[in-house]
């Protein structure tokens, strides 16, 4: 399978290189970033997106920023300030804060190290975040694939493939791994309005991998399910609360409700780093709201709504745990009661 190289260090090791996902599928443009402002903008503008990918990005971003910081002790204050700044770019995805905390912990564990000694440790930690994600995605894909049989139809929403993570991805990882092993399944990719990650990214990834994929508009999911073409729903997640409620791209909860109505198993796939036991329920998850112009005019040559009309544009919604058949992590498949099974992941 072709590996999508979407987050890495430059050859010199002094800049962060990303594949600009906002330009896909029509253009493959790589950006080189070295300032905190450019990194913040890359996250905010969805040039890099997907909870695990943002975590990988954050690790390497902090290393690149550290290269330009003064010696200790001033280094520590600047490092923490940069981490806080990047963390404010997207509040919903827990992987961002998780990765930044890991990088800060390197400082805390090496208080007497000079900057020259600290830099390779920070780079190693960033690489470890990437390597662990690759291994996690493979394990998640194996667990998810264990549910599938030849000829199954799988509906997915938004994008939780290699672009959003690493290598196989999470939600479409089982489909890609099945293809690699000669098990043919059919994928249905929701368009995922208003930013069309399903159309622009998921269908791109699956088509590139030779998977039998059909793109549908979000409001077509019901008729596809009703027709018996879907045996499973696999979606990713940006945060999992302690009770099993999950935050994912807007429209995910609607897919879950439809799946419940039609008796279709609905699985959420993501690394254990997206599980936030400090967030009791989905109502405690901060939901990012984005510019209404994404609805009004983003993909059109001219606006498709009256100027001045109010728009409500939440980036995520929360799927209630009662609608979720299972939460698949690299450590296995968690089922109800999630308050117990999720807690057991960390024992």
121's enclosing H/E stretch is helix 115-145
Burial of 10 (0-12, 13-18, 19+ CB in 10 A): middle
| Whole-number Å distance between alpha carbons of 270 and 329 | 5
CA dihedral of 11, 15, 18, 22, whole degrees rounded to 10: -140
* Rounded-to-integer distance, Cα 267 and Cα 244, Å: 12
The sign one gets for the Cα dihedral 51, 52, 55, 61 is negative
Task: Please answer whether residues 303 and 80 qualify as being in contact, where contact means their C-beta atoms are separated by less than 8 angstroms.
Answer: no
> Is 238 known to be catalytic?
yes
Please identify which of the residues 152, 190, 218, 238 carries the catalytic annotation. Answer: 238
What is the largest distance, in Å, between two alpha-carbon atoms of the chain?
Answer: 64
Active centre residues (catalytic): 238
């Amino acid at each position: 399978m072709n590996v999508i190289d979407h987050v890495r260090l430059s050859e010199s090791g002094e800049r962060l290189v990303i594949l600009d996902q906002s330009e896909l599928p029509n253009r493959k443009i790589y950006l080189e970033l070295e300032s905190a402002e450019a990194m913040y903008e890359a996250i905010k503008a969805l040039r890099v997106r997907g909870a695990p990918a943002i975590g990988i990005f954050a690790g390497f971003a902090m290393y690149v920023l550290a290269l330009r910081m003064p010696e200790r002790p001033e280094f520590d204050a600047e490092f923490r300030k940069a981490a806080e700044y990047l963390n404010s770019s997207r509040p919903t995805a827990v992987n961002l804060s998780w990765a930044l905390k890991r990088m800060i912990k390197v400082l805390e564990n090496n208080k007497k190290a000079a900057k020259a000694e600290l830099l390779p440790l920070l780079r190693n930690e960033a690489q470890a975040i990437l390597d662990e994600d690759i291994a996690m995605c493979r394990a998640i894909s194996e667990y998810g694939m264990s549910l599938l049989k030849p000829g199954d139809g799988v509906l997915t929403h938004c994008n939780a493939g290699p672009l959003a993570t690493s290598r196989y991805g999470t939600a479409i990882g089982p489909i890609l791994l099945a293809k690699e092993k000669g098990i043919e399944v059919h994928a249905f990719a929701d368009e995922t309005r208003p930013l069309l990650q399903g159309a622009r990214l998921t269908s791109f990834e699956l088509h590139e991998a030779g998977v039998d994929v059909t793109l549908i508009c979000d409001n077509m999911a019901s008729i596809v399910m009703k027709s018996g073409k879907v045996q499973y729903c696999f979606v990713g997640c940006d945060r999992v609360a302690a009770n099993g409620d999950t935050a994912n791209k807007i429209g995910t909860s609607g897919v879950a409700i439809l799946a419940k109505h039609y008796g279709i198993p609905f699985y959420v796939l993501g690394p254990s780093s997206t599980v936030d036991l400090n967030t009791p329920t989905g109502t405690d998850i901060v939901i990012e709201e984005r510019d209404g112009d994404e609805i009004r005019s983003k993909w059109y040559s001219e606006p498709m709504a009256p100027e001045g009309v109010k728009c409500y544009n939440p980036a995520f919604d929360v799927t209630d745990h009662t609608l979720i058949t299972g939460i698949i992590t690299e450590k296995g498949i968690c089922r109800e009661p999630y308050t117990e099974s999720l807690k057991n992941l960390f024992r």
